[in-house]
Amino acid sequence: MIGNQIRTVVLLGLLSGVLLAIGAYFINIYVALVFAIALNFGSYWFSDKIVLRMYRAKEADVSKYMRLHQIVAEVAKKANLPKPRVFVLPTDNANAFATGRNPKHAVVAVTKGIMDILTERELKGVIAHELAHVKHRDILIASIAAMIAGTITMIAFIARWGAIFGGFGRGKDSGNIFELLALAIVAPLIAVVIQLAISRSREFLADEDGAKYIKDGKALASALMKLEQNSKQHPLRFGSPSSAHLFIVNPFSGKSLFKFFSTHPPVSERVKRLDKMHF
């Protein structure tokens, strides 16, 4: 757990370093930064409402989903968290996610599909994973990473126009338009890779702590294997791939073409780590 926390800090530091490095070239960095902060502040503050509406989620009726509510309450108590609101998504894709700006405003959402294929023990493992995200304030961490990466992307956009019209800042003084174009292309690519690495690191941490809450790593490992297979057979047909990182497994495809550009670590690696845990 400590290793993953340190990794997150290092990756956020690298992301900030990329921002500062390219910011030295441009006078427009403050405009981009203010815009990115405003955009991501809104996303962070209203994340639960935005995502739930995007995925057509409905609050789970207590009488209809009594056992689901009981499981969430039970795991929340073990994680020392208030019971979050519970929602259900109308899809055969087996998945789950957590959102909300803090533990007091948290939401755990599960799909209809996940309740059809998981045992109660496996479902507890998934709920524990999502509540670990809530406890770690991962929505806040993801928002910070998105803000910095978004600022870098916006500066790169400005740089491309600067190169087209003759450059500006240090690029104009040196007359090195090729350097400016390279910066405009490479910087956002680096930012995205680091941002996704942060997301993968938080998934490992949520797996580990979730297993600790219920003292059962094999339940989550078994669930992850089922969810990965289901995602290949029943990919999600609505929503946005930009929010794939919220889900416990990628709901839009069973496999990523490039590991570095995946929002999730390989399930095989997650299962291997969970199987090594003993309680």
3-class SS of residue 101? coil
* Contact between residue 180 and residue 28 where contact means Cβ atoms under 8 Å apart: no
108 bridge partner residues: 86, 98
What's the Cα-to-Cα distance from 232 to each of 94, 126, 196, 225, 261, rounded to whole Å?
Answer: 10, 18, 21, 11, 18
The one catalytic residue in 130, 203, 208, 228 is 130
**Where do we find the tokens 């755990």?**
108
Q: What is the pTM of this model?
A: 0.76
Per-residue pLDDT tens for 54-75?
Answer: 899 999 999 999 999 999 999 9
For the chain, the straight-line distance linking the first and the last C-alpha, in angstroms and rounded, comes to 15
Per-residue pLDDT tens for 63-109?
Answer: 999 999 999 999 999 999 999 999 999 999 999 999 888 899 899 99
In this structure, which amino acid lies at residue 157? F
Query: In angstroms, rounded to a whole number, what is the distance separating the alpha carbons of residues 257 and 252?
Result: 13
Of residues 143 and 200, more confidence is placed in 200
Q: Which of 278, 272, 270, 276 is nearest to 129 (CA)?
A: 270
Active site residue 130: yes
Res 171: pLDDT: 45
Query: In angstroms, rounded to a whole number, what is the distance separating the alpha carbons of residues 18 and 215?
Result: 40
* Contact between residue 54 and residue 243 where contact means Cβ atoms under 8 Å apart: yes
Res 230: pLDDT: 95
Two structure tokens written together for 42:
């809104």
Which 8-state DSSP code applies to residue 25?
Answer: T
Q: How many other CB atoms sit within 10 Å of the CB of residue 187?
A: 21
Res 22: pLDDT: 62
What kind and span of H or E run contains 114?
Answer: helix 112-117
- The per-residue DSSP string of 11-65 comes to HHHHHHHHHHHHHTT-STHHHHHHHHHHHHHHHHHTHHHHHHHHTT-EEPPTTTT
**Where do we find the tokens 């990182």?**
245
247 bridge partner residues: 97
